[in-house]
Amino acid sequence: MTSPLTRPRRKNPVLRTRLPNLPPGGRSRVALGLTAAAALGRFELQCCRDCGKVQYPPSEACQVCLSERLQWREQSGAGELLAVTELAHSNDLFFRERLPWRLGMVRLDCAVTVVAHLHGDCAAAGARVRVEAVLDRSGQGVLIAMPDKETAHMADDPQLREFTCDPKYRKVLVTDGRTAVGQAIVHSLIRAGADLIWVGQSEPWKQFPGIEALRTLPQVSLVPLDLSDSEAVSELCAEIGGRVDIVINNAELHRPFGIAARAGIEAARAEMDINYFGLLRLAQGLGPALRARGADGQSSAVAWVNLLSIYALSNYPPHGTFSASKAAALSLAQCLRAEMRPAGVRVINVFPGPIDDEWNQTVLPPKVSAAALATAITRALQQGIEDVFPGDVAQEWLARWRDNPKALERELAG
């Protein structure tokens, strides 16, 4: 039975911070299909369209009929644990620092046998387990076998936490606490066990609804933060940068206009200043500190979350300039992900559909509520997912964009 996680001891400032090591990250191009599914929280294996054979490991052709018509399909992951072993020695630096390490061989119900990392609550050989695809510290898809049924303190397993960004006992920065979304994120993090939450507040002289309630929470510390002010961002990063474990950048500026409906570029420039340049300022200020703390034990820096929009994938003309600013932020977030990966810090991009707020009043339902969006962000951290698409609209747009981007562009223009 997994022991409950305890609050980490205060770090000894005399000791040198451990440098991050990553697990082996080499993958063939075809094997990246497993990684792509794991980034969305899905477990997929190759299935032959001709003979129906499910196969693992991934390859260019079917292992039975040699057909090249292979398709990635989601699997249940249910199976039987055939054998268990525990590594007591490893030549790999990443695993050497985390020994002993459990591995198991699992026979899946789809007639495929896999070797997977093993959760500590999995019983002896012969037990039923479920295999999940997760991302490791190097950002590559791997398999982990979990107990078939929920157990006490399951999320506190040391091996499982190596694949997640669970906010329990971690210190989090939420960049905007003025909005309903920001406040819902704070409450969701508190329920998840976050130790300390810095909440950004621009224009503190304005009394936004809910701010006083946040001020009374013992886990919350309100801090001045305006992402359009480079000096303010630099000052805050210098003050708390060495202690932040998770960054949630939910600050955004949203104005529902296209191009011809509004003269001048002032509103579009303001959107870019928060949605794109604000992310850039924050990344330049906090990025080096997070990269340096990617292997800081239980209190390691683990994640950076960006609140983007499904409009970033394909421009929605009634919100055209906002869509463009989010598309720019998505490109920058991909750069940030590449720079954070050597430290094992995960960059999570969240693509909600229309949020139920004042700037989407004219958008017809369904819309994503602040509470549902906050829950999706917290769940992504707990599961280590890389890309999240909360809401029915986001899921539908994603499917249509993957099927035919040009068709989606034409449909949105209409």
Shared-domain flag, residues 386 and 242:
yes
Range in 42-46, 203-207, 256-260, 313-317 the model is least confident about = 203-207
The pLDDT, as a whole number, for residue 27 is: 86
| Domain stops at, among 112, 136, 161 | 161
Residue 122: pLDDT over 80: yes
Q: Using only C-alpha atoms, what is the Rg of the chain?
A: 22
The one-letter code for the residue type at 368 is V
Shared-domain flag, residues 113 and 202:
no
Q: 127-140, pLDDT tens digit by residue?
A: 999 999 999 999 99
Shared-domain flag, residues 251 and 186:
yes
3-class secondary structure, 235: helix
Shared-domain flag, residues 132 and 231:
no
Answer yes or no: is 5 within a domain: no
Answer yes or no: is 141 within a domain: yes
CATH of the domain at 110: 2.40.50.840
Q: How confident is the model at residue 211 (pLDDT cuts 50, 70, 90)?
A: confident
Answer yes or no: is 97 within a domain: yes
The pLDDT, as a whole number, for residue 2 is: 74
Shared-domain flag, residues 338 and 210:
yes
Shared-domain flag, residues 154 and 191:
no
The pLDDT, as a whole number, for residue 275 is: 97
Task: Tell me if 233 sits within 8 A of 281, measured CB to CB.
Answer: yes
Q: How confident is the model at residue 359 (pLDDT cuts 50, 70, 90)?
A: confident
Helices within 101-229 (DSSP H only): 158-161, 180-191, 211-215
Answer yes or no: is 20 within a domain: no
Dist CA 270 CA 284 (whole Å): 20
The Cα-based distances of 300 to 43, 45, 142, 199, 221 in angstroms read: 27, 32, 21, 20, 20
The pLDDT, as a whole number, for residue 13 is: 67
Shared-domain flag, residues 297 and 211:
yes
Question: How much of the chain, in percent, has pLDDT values that exceed 70?
Answer: 98
Q: Please state the φ and ψ torsions of residue 128, each to the nearest 5 degrees.
A: -80, 135
Answer yes or no: is 350 within a domain: yes
| Domain stops at, among 140, 161, 182 | 161
Task: Tell me if 64 sits within 8 A of 73, measured CB to CB.
Answer: no
Dist CA 181 CA 169 (whole Å): 22
3-class secondary structure, 340: helix
User: What secondary structure letter does DSSP report for 149?
Assistant: S
Q: What is the mean pLDDT of the chain?
A: 92
Shared-domain flag, residues 323 and 283:
yes
Answer yes or no: is 191 within a domain: yes
- pTM of the model as a whole: 0.93
Q: Does 100 sit behind a cis peptide bond, omega within 30 degrees of 0 on the bond before it?
A: yes
Answer yes or no: is 255 within a domain: yes
Point out which residues pair with 48 in neighbouring strands.
Answer: 70
Shared-domain flag, residues 204 and 251:
yes
The pLDDT, as a whole number, for residue 1 is: 64
| Domain stops at, among 126, 161, 196 | 161
Query: What pairing do the DSSP bridges indicate for beta strands 128-135 and 78-87?
Result: antiparallel
CATH of the domain at 258: 3.40.50.720
Selection from 94, 97, 32, 175 nearest residue 343 by Cα: 94
Shared-domain flag, residues 124 and 209:
no
On the 0-12 / 13-18 / 19+ scale of CB atoms within 10 A, 263 is exposed
Selection from 270, 231, 235 nearest residue 251 by Cα: 270
The Cα-based distances of 2 to 6, 17, 382 in angstroms read: 12, 27, 17
**Residue-range definition of the domain harbouring residue 100:** 32-161
Q: State both tokens at 11.
A: 């770090």
Answer yes or no: is 13 within a domain: no
Mean of the pLDDT values across residues 178-196?
Answer: 95
Mean of the pLDDT values across residues 332-360?
Answer: 94
Task: Tell me if 128 sits within 8 A of 139, measured CB to CB.
Answer: no
Residue 10: pLDDT over 80: no
Shared-domain flag, residues 149 and 88:
yes
Total domain count, the chain? 2
Residue listed under structure tokens 């510390």:
221
Shared-domain flag, residues 279 and 132:
no
Residue listed under structure tokens 């000894």:
12
